[in-house]
């Protein structure tokens, strides 16, 4: 089974990397960019076929290691 955990900063949290990317895009002449927020994506393969168990394991992984839940949100998508 495959899964993706996407981690992003919570709204209102300062994103200096996003601002740097935004500035770089503008300096490269990429038009129409109003705002950039950066995040992390984890593609994970999970043993077994129990989707509920996989989601529970991924939630535990996200809360213990993958995301700083004080300043970040995460989203879990399980496929297969």
CATH code at position 75: 3.30.1280.10
Residue 62 pLDDT > 80: yes
pLDDT given at position 33: 94
| Total domains in the fold of the chain | 1
Compute the half-sphere exposure of residue 62: CA atoms within 13 Å on the CB side of its CA.
26
Q: What is the pLDDT of residues 14-55, one digit of tens each?
A: 999 999 999 999 999 999 999 999 999 999 999 999 999 999
Of 13, 1, 2, the residue nearest 67 (C-alpha): 13
The pTM score is 0.88
Residue 23 domain boundaries: 2-79
pLDDT given at position 80: 74
Locus of tokens 């995301």: 67
């Amino acid at each position: 089974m495959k899964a993706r955990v996407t981690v992003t900063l919570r709204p209102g949290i300062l994103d200096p990397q996003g601002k740097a990317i935004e500035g770089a895009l503008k300096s490269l002449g990429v038009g129409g960019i109003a705002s950039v927020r950066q995040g992390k994506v984890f593609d994970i393969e999970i043993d077994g076929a129990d989707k509920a168990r996989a989601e529970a394991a991924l939630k535990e992984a996200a809360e213990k290691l993958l995301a700083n839940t004080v300043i970040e949100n995460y989203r879990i998508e399980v496929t297969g």
